[in-house]
Amino acid sequence: MGNVTSKTGANGNRPARAPLTRAIALVGPAGTGKTSLAEALLYASGAITRQGSVEAGTTVGDASPEARARRGSTEINLMHFDYLGDRFALVDSPGGTGFAADGLAALPSVDMAVVVIDPAPERAALAEPVLRRLDELGVPHAIFVNKIENARAHAVQDLIAELQPMSREPLVLRQIPIREDDRITGYVDLALERAYRYRPGRESERVAIPADLARREREDRARLLETLADFDDALLEALLMDEAPAPETVMADLAADTAGNKLVPVLLGSALADGGVHRLLKLLRHEAPRPEAAAARLGVEGGAALHVFKIANGGAMGRLALGRVLGGALGEGDELDVGGETARAGSLFFVQGEKTAKQQAAAFGDVVAVAKVDAARSGMVLPARGTHGAASLPVTYPARNAAIAITTRDRKDDVKLSTALHRLCEEDPALEWTQDETTHETLLRGINDDHLHVVLGRLQRRYGVAVDTRPPRIAYRESIRKAASQRGRHKKQSGGHGQYGDCVIEIRPLARGEGFRFEDRITGGAIPRQYIPAVEMGVRDAMAKGPLGFPVVDVAVTLTDGSFHSVDSSELAFRIAGRMAMAEALAAGTPYLLEPVCRVAVDTPAGTASKAGSVLSTRRGQILGLSQHPDWARWDRVEALLPEAGLHGLDAELRSLSQGLASFTAAFDHLAELGGKQADDVVRAQATLVTA
């Protein structure tokens, strides 16, 4: 976010208080023109005097260097505008696979979502994840078919046919396109029975309904009315009596049924050519529900609450909680319940792209940035004093299937790295970082490689931390095939007290997954009791790195004999003796390599499951089964056991065969023996790593 300004809004000025702000989310697949549509809405409403371009990097949204460089959204953008006396807040959500999760937390508190798609029926499946999510939340939504001027013949009908199985509610086509010379130049409004021609930069011009569309207009309007009649008995009776309903009846039913999430209107238009944008504005004005519905969805009663949907760090104002005020007004200094602790709201800011303006208070429905609520996290609902019933809705983020190991280029940046990663993960809950206890690596996990690439750019730009990256090491293990016995004796004399420790151990393999056992069978005081724990510690030391270079598992060790010196023996001496005995015993036990194997579930559109199975098989996967997706129609699930080494690059390969839709989850299942050339290569690489 940029610097604080005194005012913002249309032409740089925030207007006088309008009716309650309604929040609209722009969602949908990448490349469909959501940011361009946001820009068109701002321009059509008068919030800006010139419509910017994504390609030129002049839009109000997507102002970050990462978004400008990619010419695509990497995080949500907030914008505001007024239209005919009504106030609206736009939450423009990224559509790219690696970034779409950033908008998930905002959906529960918006009043309506506009799903932006392009007119290609073969790409309709890309909209299914967001349509399903909106259905789960019960958020009213409309579909805006963007870039309609380039649609081919019959594309709209085919698109609706593809989309309908993805939606619980009926899709209602509100417009049919007018085609002239292989280009769509306008539309017929089925509710108003009027035709309009697009005029770039201005509202569409009303024209006569083309004669060649009259029959189709009657048929499609009849379908529209039949859908409305499913929810209006009076309208149903009128249709049965062959009576034409009044236009105001049709519009009132559309408004009520859309706001009530009983149907999904489908509009056509072009953000770049200003086609259908004013019609979309009118739909938002008349058919988006009031903020009370969102408050009820989140259980906000009896007072104000802030639904936090994003944390922003690094701007001039420091840490900000972006969210929507529901149930009442919120002012600076008001007390909020943050996870059971009381926090006072700091300064409040109005946000317009990367610009911000301080404000004294936020009204019911406003979307604002709030300072000093440091314990707030994305997805939380923070009730003000006296508010009750508010409940945070859990947000399910996509699997973090991409991982890299990172190291600072300058060791002096190690402390800065930890702080920076913490803040980045606050901003982006789809991001995760951990310290791997086995490989001692700092691991950064994200949705895909593109996601991590952008995060690394932010890490260096915002926090000045440059890092080197590499694929994470696989947590290989080793075990033994046969029993062995070995004596370990540590004897050293260097003047004064010497060192003496002597022990005899027997080792044997255990069944997979049994771990480690240590048994003491010393008799006759061969080793004093106080030194036996030291022998076990030495054994464990040796198991941390076996003969092949990896931690040892599934081995039982029995201490059978030994000797000691009354003066020179010590815990250290017996620990060294135990380590020596174990190291030699492991080498004699015919060690072999184990690799982690994961249970993988791939969700992919029907028709691509066999290709997904082939991808898993080429990565040494064992296919366990193929079934229909338990929740989604026309999707399949492939389950398999796959070596962890096969996960690297799997996400990108699966998405390449499924229009970017396939995803997977993976969880450790068991360790399995790895032999042959593959094992030799792993051992050789480990030896090289150690000596490097």
Overall average pLDDT of the 183-197 stretch: 92
Helix (H) / strand (E) element for 128: namely helix 128-137
pLDDT of 259 higher than 50 = yes
The answer to whether position 13 is within a domain reads no
Tokens representing 457? 């750019």
Q: Do 127 and 193 fall into the same domain? A: yes
Whether the CA torsion 331, 332, 335, 338 is positive or negative: it is positive
Q: What is the CATH number of the domain that holds 496?
A: 3.30.230.10
Which one of 470, 504, 522 terminates a domain?
A: 470
Tell me the pLDDT tens digit for each residue of 79-123: 999 999 999 999 999 998 889 999 999 999 999 999 999 999 988
Domain stop point among 559, 589, 619: 589
In a domain, 360, yes or no: no
- Answer whether residue 271 is part of any domain: yes
| pLDDT greater than 60 at residue 326 | yes
Q: Report in angstroms the alpha-carbon separations of 302 from 99, 298, 390, 472, 596.
A: 35, 13, 10, 50, 53
Q: Could you give the number of structural domains in the chain? A: 4
- Residue 1, pLDDT score: 60
For residue 359, the Cα-to-chain-centroid distance in whole angstroms is 31
User: Residue 688: its pLDDT value, please?
Assistant: 83
Bridge partners (DSSP) listed for residue 600: 640, 666
- Say how far apart CA 658 and CA 285 lie, in whole Å: 37
Distance from chain centroid for Cα 123: 21
What does the pLDDT look like over 201-251, one tens digit per residue? 778 899 999 999 999 999 999 999 999 999 999 999 999 999 999 989 999
Q: Which residue has the tokens 């135990």?
A: 578
CB atoms within 10 A of CB 675: 9
Do 262 and 231 meet the contact criterion of CB atoms below 8 Å apart?
yes
In contact, 103 and 90? CB cutoff 8 Å: no
Distance CA 143, CA 125 (A): 14
- Whether residues 130 and 252 share a domain: the answer is yes
Task: Output the pLDDT for position 634.
Answer: 81
Any domain includes 382? no
Residue where a domain stops, chosen among 265, 286, 307: 286
For 22, other C-beta atoms within 10 Å of its C-beta total: 22
Is the confidence at residue 2, as pLDDT, over 90?
Answer: no
pLDDT for residue 550: 94
| C-alpha span between 261 and 288 (Å, rounded) | 10
Output the CA–CA distances (angstroms, integers) from residue 103 to 67, 97, 190, 322, 440, in the order listed: 15, 12, 32, 12, 33
Average predicted confidence (pLDDT) for the chain: 91
Q: Are residues 635 and 650 in the same domain?
A: yes
**How much of the chain, in percent, has pLDDT values that exceed 70?**
96
Give Cβ neighbours of residue 241 (< 8 Å, ≥ 6 apart).
none
Structure token pair of residue 682: 């792993």
Confidence band of 7 (pLDDT split at 50, 70, 90): very low
For residue 112, give both structure tokens. Answer: 């309506």
Same domain, 277 and 136: yes
26 in any annotated domain: no
> Residue 14 pLDDT > 70, yes or no?
no
125 and 255 co-located in one domain: yes
Q: CATH no. for residue 166?
A: 3.40.50.300
Looking at residue 690, its pLDDT comes to 67
Distant-in-sequence, close-in-space partners of 256: CB < 8 Å, separation ≥ 6 = 231
Q: Please give the C-alpha separations between residue 115 and each of 267, 410, 668, in angstroms, as whole numbers.
A: 10, 45, 36
Whether residues 157 and 269 fall in one domain: yes
Residue 9 has pLDDT above 60, yes or no: no
- For position 596, what pLDDT does the model report? 96
User: 475: how many CB neighbours lie within 10 A of its CB?
Assistant: 17
Name which of 322, 334, 347 is nearest 427 in CA terms: 322
The residue-averaged pLDDT of 274-288 equals 94
Least confident of 8-17, 50-59, 365-374, 648-657: 8-17
The pLDDT of residue 681? 92
Instruction: Read off the CATH number of the domain in which 455 is found.
Output: 3.30.70.870
Mean pLDDT, rounded, for 579-608:
95
**463 and 489 inside one domain:** no
Residues 176 and 262 in one domain: yes
**Same domain assignment for residues 223 and 161:** yes
Task: Give, for 623, the enclosing helix (H) or strand (E).
Answer: strand 622-628
Query: Range of 434's domain?
Result: 405-470
Q: What is the pLDDT of residue 4?
A: 38
Give percent of the chain above pLDDT 90.
76
pLDDT tens readout for residues 39-68? 999 999 999 999 999 988 999 998 888 888
In a domain, 309, yes or no: no
Q: What pLDDT is recorded for position 560?
A: 96
Same domain, 268 and 158: yes
Residues 263 and 127 in one domain: yes
Looking at the structure, tell me whether residues 598 and 585 fall in a common domain: no
Determine the pLDDT at residue 495. Answer: 66
- 8, two tokens: 């913002």
In a domain, 394, yes or no: no
Q: How far apart are the first and last CA of the chain?
A: 44
Q: What is the CATH number of the domain that holds 660?
A: 3.30.70.240
Write the CA distances from 152 to 121, 250, 269, 469, integer angstroms. 10, 30, 14, 45
Give the tokens for residue 664.
Answer: 């997977």
DSSP string across 510-554: --TT--EEEEE---TTSS-GGGHHHHHHHHHHHHTS-TTSS-B-S
Per-residue pLDDT band at 13 (split at 50, 70, 90):
very low
Pairwise CA distance, residues 491 & 582, whole Å: 17
Cβ distance 333 to 366 under 8 Å? no
**Single-letter code of the amino acid located at 34:** K
4 located within any domain:
no
Q: What is the pLDDT of residues 519-572, one digit of tens each?
A: 999 988 899 999 999 999 999 999 999 999 999 999 999 999 999 998 899 999
